[in-house]
Structure 1
Amino acid sequence: MVSFPDGIENKRSAMTRNHDISGLDLTGDTYVVEQSLLPIRNKYKAMDADENVVIRGKQKMFKLKEEFPFVDSNGEEVFEVNAGGMIDIAGNYVLTDSQTGEDLIVLDNDYSLLQDTWRIRDVDTEEKIAEINSRGTLVTIARNVIPFGEFIPHKYEITDANDSHIGNIDGQISLRDRYKITIDDTNTVSKEAVIAAAMVIDAIQGN
């Protein structure tokens, strides 16, 4: 085993990390995320193109900090997302691989009435891996300020580190939040990270 001076090994691992999650193997390009109708707390499930449940997640509060544990179709915890601060309305959220205990990515939000911007970054280097932006200023404003605006389906564009289009998140009109995630380019972004980000965005913004 090659040894590294203090600090160099961490930097090296950050550069070579692929941000895959040990307990998940998402091979499809399209997934549907659906919120539970239960009003007590936000619960979500992600389904593949054949409507098989691949991930379940829920929002929890622990010492006024948000936690989002995610399990696979067998109920085994595969990753979790934790807020960096108390009631982190527009802050940082860390995604941790439950099987390895390794922090993989950070989700950070630039809150605005004109546009919602979420960045997916490497937890060590802070380099941007992908970005999720709401599409349409008027729609974003309407969702935030008009009565019952939260029922307007949300739409987001997913771009990679070079700001190239790689996918979409499209909301669907329904009694419960339901939206389709499409990844056009599967080589440059972790699908698990995008699906987790979509669930966390929806829960945080109270949609």
Structure 2
Amino acid sequence: MRVDYKEDADLDVANLRDGWLPVAQQWLAAAIEARIPEPNAMVLATVDADGRPASRTVLCKGLDARGVVFYTNYDSDKGTHLRRTPYASVTFPWIGIERQLTIRGTVSTVSTEATAAYFASRPRGSQLGAWASQQSRPVASREELEQALVKMTERFDGQDVPVPPNWGGFRIEPETVEFWQGRTSRLHNRIRLTIPTQQVERLQP
């Protein structure tokens, strides 16, 4: 199964003269405009205690000059991995517009204030779900999981749902940012910015 990519405005090293963020924001806006499902979805890669990679899809909830932010249960597999090895890679797979954005860098937790503000913006069902799920841990059945949600719904009935003590945000601070743009004959455009040195270079596809 092969698809030959269409031609549009070529990505070039000159596009990153003002840094990576303007292009990243433009590409995210293009993905939203193209109505790509979950345009803020990104594949997060971490490593476990044995140095073996693990990947899963999470949702980007912040994209600015400081990096990329997502939220999760800190006791989940990814949370455990990142506390042990605070370095990660995320890729936005915007296949529908023939683009990808990959950001790699060090990881830190966001402030409790930022976590609280974001948690308050979530739908109530999502807030309760964060309490009900012991993320990444085994569960005997779907019914047991649903019953845990019922219990949390009853527990917080008539009151605001607080942030769980083991839940919050991670920020990936970019060290390298790579833009990938599909091209004909598999001669794709790959442009990488290395933040510490501000080196911008074209990579062979």
Fold shared by both chains (TM-score > 0.5): no
The answer to which structure has the higher strand fraction is 1
Select the structure of larger CA radius of gyration: 2
Relative to the length of structure 1, the TM-score reads 0.29
Larger relative CO (CA 8 A, sep 6+): 1 or 2? 2
